[in-house]
Amino acid sequence: MVSNRIKEHPILPIEKKKNIFFYWNGKRLTAKKDEVISSALFANSIKIFGHHHKDDKAQGIFCANGQCAKCTVIADGVPVKSCMTTVKQGMKIESVEGLPKLPETDEHQISNIEEVAYDVLIIGGGPAGLSAAIQLGKLNISILIVDDKSELGGKLVLQTHKFFGSVEDSYAGTRGNDIGKMLSHEVKENDKITVWTNSIALYVYKDRKVGILQADIYKLVKPKVILNAAGAREKFLRFKGNSLAGIYGAGAFQTLVNRDLVRPTKRLFIVGGGNVGLIAGYHALQAGIKVVGLVEALPKCGGYKVHADKLARLGVPIYTSHTVLKANGEESVESVTISKIDANFQPISGTEKTFACDTLLIAVGLESVSEFTDEAEKAGITVYAAGDAKEIAEASSAMFNGKIAGQMVAKEINNDVTDIPQSWYDKAEILKKEPGKTFEYNFPKQEKGVFPVIHCLQEIPCNPCSSICPTNSINMIGDPIMDLPVYEGKCVGCGKCVVICPGLAITLVDFRNDDNYPTITIPYEVKNHTVNIGDKLICVDIDGKYLATLKVEEVIDTKNNKKTQLIKLKSPKNIAKKIVSFRVQDKEVTQPLEMDTPEIDDDEMICLCEKVTAKEIKKLIRQGITDMNQIKAITRAGMGPCGAKSCDNLIKQLFRQEGVSLENVEKNTRRPLFVEVPLGKFADGGKK
Amino acid sequence: MNTYDVIIIGAGSIGVPTALSLSKKKLKVLVIDSQHSPGQVNNKKAIGGIRATHSDYGKIKVSQKSIEIFSTWKEKYGDDIGWIANGYSFPAYNKEDANKLKELMKIQHSFGLNIDWISPEEYEKKVPGIRTKDLQGSTFSPDDGSASPLLAINALYFESLKLGAEYKFNESVNDLYLENDRISKVVTNKGNYRSKYVINAAGNNAKQVGKLVGIDLPVKPDSHEGAITEPVERFFGPMVVDMRPTEGSANYYFYQNNEGQVIFCITPAPPIIGTDSDSTSVFLPQVAKRMIELYPRLANLKVRRTWRGQYPMSPDGFPIVGKSKRVNNLINAVGMCGQGFMLGPGLGELLANIVTEELSNEDKKALKSFDPYRSFSNIEQFK
């Protein structure tokens, strides 16, 4: 079987891990020690983990986050979530065909559940939770931070790109995974902070105790204050064929690729042009995955222009004002059909295009994990929220508002703590800002010496270029974070701005050696597509349009540049300032199929857990039902393992589509548990 | 003002089936409920067990009727309400309990119920892997079963709509006007209604509704928590009721439903009075210890969801059903003590017969068990 392991990566280190063996439906396969079952299976090209008991359709990875149960397999006789269960030497793993069998067992442990008290409980060890913990760690109080992953850092761990935001407040210019390491190191060093990894908060109970499964042992935590920094979940999308295997979110994708270094797909298609989708596309290219295209329903991508530009320049077509019509395939995705949409978001007949792909990545927005906040409020525990759990924004914003939340919690516990300065709130506002206006190019006039060309044309909260310039020659026009950077002054050609720009949107043009053929310096981070001296590169402008084919003069790859290569080319003077980058992905990859795909009778799936279709739910809405709990009662939509985490939004969309205002809709009641937990865990506190 | 034959207060386990039974008799029915849709308070919290094997004539007769309705629903009306005849079992782990159950079986046999005493070996075949140490044997009543309260109440609701029943949701009864010892007007936050009869099927709020006309109904809701697991292939048959009290809890019970999910519930001791429905941290460890100790195989089964609801309790554990002596057109159907779901359809028929004055002798005998004016001294032992 072909190995899908990523053996080289331009950014991530590839650690050598011990091989172990396991069995998949009787066949002996190889896994890496300590990896989760789902990644071991993907590494061995196994993407279908079983078939659903309701409709016999293929099941595979979906959230890769322990939240749903689509990836359930039988491991040594016990049904488990493969994305959360570590593969063991010699483990016998089987697919789940229909309902799993519960193994017979006589063994059991019964003991009391331990109760522990802390001043502050922080749920989630991502950018917000860690920043809050660091802020709180300066006080003499007890802090517990729980995170469901084996490593702190949350989604930072999965980010290979350099961060936006401001250098002094949110580590702008540093890669997300490196920021994650820095923050978690600081937290772990602080002895006032207790860290529970592999620990899932299950519910904040009415009797003011929080049920937490700490590394498989159930515990009850009594906090004085809770900080909800549990992040966000991804929204799902309704289209025909949306329940095929091979359709999942960016979180799952990045987990497989950037955490577990497994290549889950050969040809990826992305739905959604927000930052999440755009960045996932970039990560895919860095992992050696072909990115066939990206659709965005709006006329313009909602993510940062520099992210979209980066992708387009490398050779990924971005189809704006397009939607996904259907996913095609027997069990798993084999192709996707997209179509242009009109101003009312309705598909325009005759504009359909079908592309071969094996995976569809859905990145159509995030939604706060607000449950813990709601539960704590009900229980009467003081609670704050930070990061995506409070409000969806970039991780740079999460770090800063985490710091503010930390200070707020500190104040809650100890009134002597200094007040939060207004300037913090102002900065938090800036860091969470959506992209602002886009401006025309403002090319430098000069045609001698050396100078940077800034291809950053959209207002975004980002300022590393202005912070790093040793001659202070790059400055923001107005607001020091949000406004556009402008070069004016004396460039010494150090290239620091080129290296640090998270958008890879600064090039250097150097006329010092040649008045007609200046040398241009381009930043490059996809070095799995190797570039060598003498290679001829297809150089493109900001939008990915062809300008010229130029020969590589020099490749600079120094440790100081932190994995950003600098590629030097000689360019004719008339296009030198316009060249931003070069194409790495072959045009062939992105060509649509010429054949028509067969019409599928598959209805749009709303509840993937219980297999409830849009048709079934629409019928009830048309009967006048406005209580989501009644829809749940009748159809089981929302009654599955994920607890309505995906379908809740889709049902609300259906209401709106049917002309029912959400004000008149009774919301779905959420109940414990946050994720499914074996009954035996509640009977055994782990004490002998 | 709109006039009806019957106004039912409460669209829950009792109100909905009663509306259906009355509509079948071509009566004009209005059901008023403060919630957004049917069964949103305690009906949906019921675990779904349905048995006729009670200890008194009234509950036995009413439940037999219910079982008839539940078990034939699909063939009569087409919708699946999740009915399965999986039976009930009360395993005994000491001689005392065994004797109590065997004594009770004599009464149950006298009412013609299908219930037997089975040996530990036979019981292990029905519940493979259950603890056999100290097991004396178990009752087994194969005609009992289970259904989905969620599906059932909606099926009954839609059927009653077809027959003309009207429902007012998001509407709460604020007052009942009395004129010559009759309720002349039902006043809600949205309107006024008149009817020949008013049925109080208000579950948790039964006492408050009684108060509106100066009647003191001895109904006190107490809280129970329940839970449901992931579905797995069927691995045991009947509802298992462990009746042994222990510190902090009385009995608990569990069964595997038509979807393959195990549903369970425990009775806290002493009872937790009140209508707070937010989950507590006590429930899962409390019930899990007992369940795993009894049935280790359940340890690997994943708990999916938990909830908390109420048993509207009467002082003796039996429902309070019948006409009020003081308010001539008021019928109370309250204090279901956690058995509203299984009693509902049978009780609906009975209540309809009260309204139309078509009570058979059997009906009259059954109603004696639920007499609102009884002494409440004979405590139900096998709830």
What confidence tens digit (pLDDT) does each residue in B231-249 have? 999 999 999 999 999 999 9
**Sequence spans of domains, chain B:** 2-77+149-219+316-369, 88-145+220-313
Check pLDDT > 60 for residue A226.
yes
The C-alpha of A95 sits at a distance from chain B's nearest C-alpha, in angstroms, of 14
Identify the CATH homologous superfamily for domain A114-232+368-431.
FAD/NAD(P)-binding domain (3.50.50.60)
Q: Do A683 and B154 touch (CB under 8 A)?
A: no
- The bridge status of strand A506-510 relative to strand A519-524 is antiparallel
**Using an 8 Å Cβ cutoff, are A136 and A225 in contact?**
no
pLDDT of residue A558: 84
Q: How far apart are CA A236 and CA A362, in angstroms?
A: 7
Sequence-distant (6+) residues with CB within 8 A of B120 are B132, B135, B136, B137, B138
Q: What is the DSSP string of A465-520?
A: HHHH-TT--EEESSSTTTSPEEE-S------HHHHH-TT--EEEEE-SS-SSS-EE
What's the CATH code, domain A18-103?
Answer: 3.10.20.440
Task: Encode pLDDT of A15-34 as tens digits.
Answer: 999 999 999 999 999 999 99
Residue-level pLDDT at A597: 67
Nearest CA in chain B to A641: B304
User: What dotted CATH number matches A605-664?
Assistant: 1.10.10
CA distance B279 to chain A (A): 6
Residues of B in contact with A66 (CB under 8 A): none
Q: Is the pLDDT of residue A565 over 60?
A: yes
* Cross-strand bridge partners of residue A322: A340
CATH 3.10.20.440 domain position(s) in chain A: 18-103
| Proportion of chain B above pLDDT 70, given as a percent | 99
Nearest to residue A54, comparing CAs of A36, A37, A69? A69
Measured between CB atoms, which of B279, B280, B305 is closest to A643?
A: B305
CB contact under 8 A, A630 and B278: no
pLDDT in tens, A232-290: 999 999 999 999 999 999 999 999 999 999 999 999 999 999 999 999 999 999 999 99
Please tell me the distance in Å from A620's CA to the nearest CA on chain B: 11
In this prediction, the residues of chain B whose per-residue pLDDT falls under 70 are: 1, 382-383
Beta bridge partners, A550, equal A537
Choose from B302, B305, B308 for mutation: most chain A CBs within 10 A.
B302
Delimit the CATH 3.50.50.60 region(s) of chain A.
Answer: 114-232+368-431, 241-364
Q: Write out pLDDT tens, residues B307-334.
A: 999 999 999 999 999 999 999 999 999 9
Evaluate if residue A1 carries a pLDDT over 60: no
Kindly identify which residue of chain B lies nearest to residue A54, measuring between CA atoms.
B259
Instruction: Report the residue from A69, A207, A680 with minimal CB separation from B299.
Output: A680
Q: Taking chain A, what is the end-to-end CA distance rounded to the nearest angstrom?
A: 44
Nearest CA in chain B to A222: B281
pLDDT of residue B311: 98
- Does the distance separating the beta carbons of A102 and B300 come in below 8 Å? yes
In whole angstroms, give the CA distance from residue B90 to residue B105: 11
- The answer to whether the CB atoms of A671 and B280 lie below 8 A apart is no
Rounded to whole angstroms, the maximal C-alpha distance in chain A is: 84
Across the interface, which of A104, A207, A632 has its CB nearest the CB of B129?
A104
Measured CA distances, B199 to A474, B54, B83, B346 (Å): 80, 25, 28, 16
Give the number of other Cβ atoms within 10 Å of residue A210's Cβ: 26
Q: What is the CATH code of the structural domain delimited by B2-77+149-219+316-369?
A: 3.50.50.60
Q: Which of A107, A627, A679 sits opposite B291 (nearest CB)?
A: A679
C-alpha closest to that of B275 among B312, B244, B241: B312
Nearest by CB to B305, from A102, A626, A673: name it: A673
- As a whole number, mean pLDDT of residues A344-372 equals 96
For residue A603, what pLDDT is reported? 87
Closest CA to A528 of A282, A173, A175: A282
- With beta carbons under 8 A apart, name residues in chain B contacting A683: 285, 288-289, 291-293, 299
Residue A648 has pLDDT above 90, yes or no: yes
Model confidence pTM above 0.90: yes
Q: What is the pLDDT of residue B383?
A: 64
- CATH superfamily, with its number, for domain A241-364: FAD/NAD(P)-binding domain (3.50.50.60)
Chain A residues lying within 8 Å of B232, measured CB to CB: 79, 99-102
Give pLDDT, residue A442. Answer: 86
C-alpha–C-alpha distance, residues B321 and A570, integer Å: 95
Partners of A487 in beta bridges: A474
Average pLDDT over residues A497-503: 95
The complex scores an ipTM of 0.97
Q: Shortest CB distance from A99 goes to which of B153, B233, B305?
A: B233
- What is the structure's pLDDT at A75? 97
B37–A625 C-beta distance less than 8 A: yes
Q: What is the pLDDT of residue B197?
A: 98
Residue B6 near residue B274, CB atoms below 8 Å: no
* A26 CA to centre of own chain: 34
User: Residue A152 carries which side chain, given as an amino acid letter?
Assistant: L
Query: Is it the case that residue A2 has pLDDT exceeding 80?
Result: no
Instruction: Give residues with Cβ within 8 angstroms of A530, minimum separation 6.
Output: none
Please report how many Cα atoms fall inside a 13 Å half-sphere around the Cα of residue A312, on the Cβ side: 22
CA atoms of B338 and A368, how far apart (whole Å)? 37
CB contact under 8 A, B280 and A69: no
CATH class in words for B88-145+220-313:
alpha beta
For residue A319, what are the contacts with CB-CB under 8 A and spacing of at least 6? A293, A294, A295, A296, A338
What proportion of chain A, given as a percentage, has pLDDT over 90? 92
Q: How far is A25 from chain B (nearest CA, A)?
A: 19
Q: For residue B249, list chain A residues with Cβ-Cβ distance below 8 A.
A: none
Burial of A249 (0-12, 13-18, 19+ CB in 10 A): buried
